[in-house]
Amino acid sequence: MSYVKIWIHAVWTTKYKKPLLNREIRNDVFRHIKDQANKKGIYVDFINGHVDHVYCLISLNANQCVADVLEQVKGESSHWVNQKGFIKEKFVWQRKYYAVSISRLHMERVRDYIRNQEAHHTRQSLDDEIDELFPGAPKP
């Protein structure tokens, strides 16, 4: 049997980067994403974010690809947020996302980075952060 474990650091935003993930709902949304992903065989190691985006550390197995996993996670979670009525307008994730593979050697550093998103964004904008983490990537 093959053994595959590919670690992905993924980032996606709310549509138009609207600041819809306020403190009151953010942790519920992230907990839901992690729980539902794990039920579908998608291993979410760590998740956090800020008012307009999500950072996620995901492990892919031999039968998974980044596009399918993120489509499932984003689609299910936006549907759930809308069902719960957390916000008055329709909640939608941006179609685009950023994803890079990371080495197991850097996992704790990536977890720390994801863990400290709120404090991090008092010093740096999301656009500047994207430029730093994903040089040359188009903005959503």
CA distance 47 to 39: 16
pLDDT digits 0-9 by tens, 81-131: 999 999 999 999 999 999 999 999 999 999 999 998 877 667 777 777 777
Report the share of the chain in percent with pLDDT over 70: 96
Mean pLDDT, the chain, as a whole number?
Answer: 91
- At 121 the pLDDT is 67
CA–CA separation, 10 vs 96, rounded Å?
A: 11
82-91 residues labelled b (16+ CB within 10 A) or e (exposed): eeeebbeeeb
CB 13 within 8 A of CB 71: no
* SS3 state of residue 16: helix
Q: What is the pLDDT of residues 28-66, one digit of tens each?
A: 999 999 999 999 999 999 999 999 999 999 999 999 999
Do 59 and 6 contact (CB within 8 A), yes or no?
yes
Domains by residue range for the chain, with CATH: 6-133 (3.30.70.1290)
Amino acid in position 48: N
